[in-house]
Amino acid sequence: MNMSIEEKATHILQILDDLFPETPIPLQHDDVYTLLIAVLLSAQCTDERVNKITPFLFAKANNPSDMLKLSVEEIREIIKPCGLSPTKSKAIYSLSKVLVEKYNGKVPNTFEELEALDGVGHKTASVVMSQGFGFPAFPVDTHIHRLARRWGLSNGKSVEQTEKDLKALCPIDQWNKAHLQIIFFGRKYCPARGHQKENCPICSLYGVED
Protein backbone atom coordinates (compact mmCIF):
# COMPACT_ATOMS: atom_id res chain seq x y z
CA MET A 1 0.00 0.00 0.00
CA ASN A 2 1.29 3.45 -0.92
CA MET A 3 1.69 5.75 2.03
CA SER A 4 1.49 9.53 1.69
CA ILE A 5 4.45 11.60 2.83
CA GLU A 6 2.27 12.98 5.63
CA GLU A 7 1.43 9.47 6.88
CA LYS A 8 5.08 8.48 6.65
CA ALA A 9 6.14 11.59 8.63
CA THR A 10 3.55 10.81 11.31
CA HIS A 11 4.87 7.26 11.66
CA ILE A 12 8.49 8.46 11.79
CA LEU A 13 7.59 10.95 14.55
CA GLN A 14 5.99 8.07 16.46
CA ILE A 15 9.16 5.97 16.10
CA LEU A 16 11.24 8.92 17.35
CA ASP A 17 8.88 9.39 20.29
CA ASP A 18 9.11 5.72 21.22
CA LEU A 19 12.92 5.64 21.02
CA PHE A 20 13.68 9.08 22.46
CA PRO A 21 10.85 10.19 24.74
CA GLU A 22 13.26 12.46 26.63
CA THR A 23 15.27 15.08 24.74
CA PRO A 24 17.86 16.77 26.95
CA ILE A 25 19.67 19.66 25.29
CA PRO A 26 23.05 18.23 24.19
CA LEU A 27 25.06 21.42 24.80
CA GLN A 28 25.75 22.18 28.45
CA HIS A 29 24.72 25.68 29.45
CA ASP A 30 23.38 27.67 32.39
CA ASP A 31 21.35 30.34 30.65
CA VAL A 32 20.54 31.75 27.22
CA TYR A 33 23.89 33.54 26.85
CA THR A 34 25.97 30.43 27.57
CA LEU A 35 23.69 28.45 25.24
CA LEU A 36 24.27 31.01 22.47
CA ILE A 37 28.06 30.78 22.89
CA ALA A 38 27.97 26.97 23.00
CA VAL A 39 25.87 26.79 19.81
CA LEU A 40 28.21 29.20 18.05
CA LEU A 41 31.18 27.02 19.07
CA SER A 42 29.45 23.87 17.81
CA ALA A 43 29.73 24.91 14.14
CA GLN A 44 31.80 22.18 12.44
CA CYS A 45 32.58 20.73 15.87
CA THR A 46 30.99 17.96 17.94
CA ASP A 47 28.80 18.79 20.93
CA GLU A 48 31.01 16.49 23.00
CA ARG A 49 34.09 18.58 22.30
CA VAL A 50 32.22 21.85 22.91
CA ASN A 51 31.10 20.52 26.31
CA LYS A 52 34.74 19.86 27.23
CA ILE A 53 35.81 23.40 26.32
CA THR A 54 32.96 25.59 27.61
CA PRO A 55 33.61 24.94 31.33
CA PHE A 56 37.05 26.56 30.93
CA LEU A 57 35.62 29.49 28.99
CA PHE A 58 32.62 30.03 31.27
CA ALA A 59 34.78 29.80 34.41
CA LYS A 60 36.42 33.00 33.16
CA ALA A 61 33.38 34.59 31.52
CA ASN A 62 29.79 33.34 31.61
CA ASN A 63 28.18 36.68 30.75
CA PRO A 64 28.78 39.37 28.10
CA SER A 65 30.40 41.88 30.48
CA ASP A 66 33.00 39.42 31.72
CA MET A 67 33.63 38.17 28.19
CA LEU A 68 34.67 41.71 27.21
CA LYS A 69 37.33 41.63 29.94
CA LEU A 70 39.07 38.93 27.92
CA SER A 71 40.92 39.75 24.74
CA VAL A 72 40.00 38.09 21.44
CA GLU A 73 43.36 36.30 21.66
CA GLU A 74 42.57 34.92 25.15
CA ILE A 75 39.19 33.66 23.95
CA ARG A 76 40.84 32.11 20.88
CA GLU A 77 43.37 30.20 23.01
CA ILE A 78 40.61 28.65 25.14
CA ILE A 79 38.34 27.66 22.25
CA LYS A 80 41.08 26.51 19.86
CA PRO A 81 40.12 22.78 20.14
CA CYS A 82 36.67 23.64 18.70
CA GLY A 83 38.15 24.70 15.36
CA LEU A 84 37.66 27.94 13.42
CA SER A 85 38.93 29.70 16.55
CA PRO A 86 40.06 32.96 14.87
CA THR A 87 36.56 33.55 13.44
CA LYS A 88 34.64 32.25 16.46
CA SER A 89 36.68 34.24 19.02
CA LYS A 90 36.09 37.50 17.12
CA ALA A 91 32.37 36.71 16.86
CA ILE A 92 32.08 35.90 20.59
CA TYR A 93 33.77 39.19 21.54
CA SER A 94 31.79 41.21 18.99
CA LEU A 95 28.35 39.82 19.88
CA SER A 96 29.10 40.21 23.62
CA LYS A 97 29.90 43.89 22.98
CA VAL A 98 26.59 44.37 21.15
CA LEU A 99 24.67 42.60 23.93
CA VAL A 100 26.20 44.93 26.55
CA GLU A 101 25.84 48.13 24.51
CA LYS A 102 22.46 47.52 22.88
CA TYR A 103 20.60 44.95 24.99
CA ASN A 104 21.74 45.64 28.56
CA GLY A 105 23.65 42.35 28.59
CA LYS A 106 20.61 40.26 27.66
CA VAL A 107 20.23 37.97 24.64
CA PRO A 108 17.39 39.23 22.39
CA ASN A 109 14.50 36.87 21.70
CA THR A 110 13.69 37.48 18.05
CA PHE A 111 15.15 35.82 14.96
CA GLU A 112 15.87 39.20 13.37
CA GLU A 113 17.88 40.52 16.32
CA LEU A 114 19.74 37.25 16.88
CA GLU A 115 20.71 36.87 13.22
CA ALA A 116 22.07 40.43 13.24
CA LEU A 117 24.69 39.37 15.83
CA ASP A 118 28.16 38.51 14.57
CA GLY A 119 28.60 34.78 13.96
CA VAL A 120 24.90 33.96 14.41
CA GLY A 121 23.23 32.44 11.36
CA HIS A 122 19.67 31.18 11.01
CA LYS A 123 20.43 27.72 12.40
CA THR A 124 22.14 29.12 15.53
CA ALA A 125 19.29 31.58 16.02
CA SER A 126 16.77 28.73 15.65
CA VAL A 127 18.50 26.67 18.35
CA VAL A 128 18.55 29.63 20.75
CA MET A 129 14.91 30.48 20.02
CA SER A 130 13.75 26.88 20.52
CA GLN A 131 16.03 25.66 23.33
CA GLY A 132 16.66 28.99 25.05
CA PHE A 133 13.29 30.70 24.77
CA GLY A 134 10.92 27.80 24.02
CA PHE A 135 9.79 29.45 20.79
CA PRO A 136 8.68 26.98 18.07
CA ALA A 137 11.57 26.55 15.65
CA PHE A 138 13.06 23.70 13.64
CA PRO A 139 16.84 24.13 13.49
CA VAL A 140 18.22 22.15 10.56
CA ASP A 141 21.92 21.32 10.53
CA THR A 142 23.71 19.16 7.98
CA HIS A 143 22.81 15.98 9.92
CA ILE A 144 19.07 16.67 10.02
CA HIS A 145 19.26 17.77 6.38
CA ARG A 146 20.87 14.45 5.45
CA LEU A 147 18.38 12.31 7.41
CA ALA A 148 15.32 14.12 6.01
CA ARG A 149 16.59 13.35 2.52
CA ARG A 150 17.48 9.77 3.48
CA TRP A 151 13.96 9.21 4.81
CA GLY A 152 12.31 10.83 1.79
CA LEU A 153 10.81 13.69 3.80
CA SER A 154 12.54 16.36 1.72
CA ASN A 155 14.24 16.57 -1.65
CA GLY A 156 17.47 17.60 0.07
CA LYS A 157 18.17 20.46 -2.34
CA SER A 158 19.00 22.94 0.45
CA VAL A 159 18.94 23.26 4.22
CA GLU A 160 16.34 26.04 3.84
CA GLN A 161 14.05 23.78 1.81
CA THR A 162 14.47 20.93 4.30
CA GLU A 163 13.46 23.25 7.15
CA LYS A 164 10.30 24.28 5.27
CA ASP A 165 9.45 20.67 4.43
CA LEU A 166 9.90 19.42 8.01
CA LYS A 167 7.89 22.31 9.44
CA ALA A 168 5.05 21.46 7.05
CA LEU A 169 5.12 17.76 8.00
CA CYS A 170 5.51 18.13 11.77
CA PRO A 171 2.93 19.73 14.11
CA ILE A 172 4.27 23.05 15.40
CA ASP A 173 4.08 21.95 19.04
CA GLN A 174 6.49 19.11 18.24
CA TRP A 175 9.14 21.11 16.34
CA ASN A 176 11.50 21.73 19.26
CA LYS A 177 11.39 18.13 20.43
CA ALA A 178 11.52 16.52 16.97
CA HIS A 179 14.64 18.49 16.07
CA LEU A 180 16.49 16.99 19.04
CA GLN A 181 15.00 13.51 18.51
CA ILE A 182 16.34 13.43 14.95
CA ILE A 183 19.80 14.43 16.20
CA PHE A 184 19.82 11.68 18.83
CA PHE A 185 18.43 9.13 16.39
CA GLY A 186 21.05 9.99 13.78
CA ARG A 187 23.90 9.53 16.24
CA LYS A 188 22.68 6.14 17.39
CA TYR A 189 21.10 4.53 14.32
CA CYS A 190 21.69 6.60 11.19
CA PRO A 191 25.29 7.89 10.94
CA ALA A 192 26.74 9.52 7.84
CA ARG A 193 29.37 6.79 7.44
CA GLY A 194 29.08 3.07 8.02
CA HIS A 195 25.30 3.26 7.96
CA GLN A 196 23.53 -0.09 7.64
CA LYS A 197 20.07 0.49 6.25
CA GLU A 198 18.68 -2.84 7.46
CA ASN A 199 19.69 -2.09 11.08
CA CYS A 200 18.12 1.38 11.14
CA PRO A 201 14.56 1.48 12.60
CA ILE A 202 13.53 4.16 10.08
CA CYS A 203 15.67 3.51 6.98
CA SER A 204 14.75 -0.19 7.05
CA LEU A 205 11.14 0.95 6.48
CA TYR A 206 11.43 4.19 4.56
CA GLY A 207 15.05 4.78 3.59
CA VAL A 208 15.90 5.93 0.12
CA GLU A 209 19.36 5.54 -1.37
CA ASP A 210 21.98 8.04 -0.23
Catalytic residues: 123, 141
Gap between the Cα atoms of 76 and 80, Å rounded: 6
Give the residue from 180, 192, 201 showing the smallest Cα distance to 147.
192
Long-range pairs for 88-95: beta carbons < 8 A, 24 or more residues apart: 88/40, 88/41, 88/43, 88/119, 90/118, 90/119, 91/40, 91/118, 91/119, 91/120, 92/37, 92/40, 92/67, 92/119, 93/67, 93/68, 94/118, 94/119, 95/36, 95/40, 95/64, 95/119, 95/120
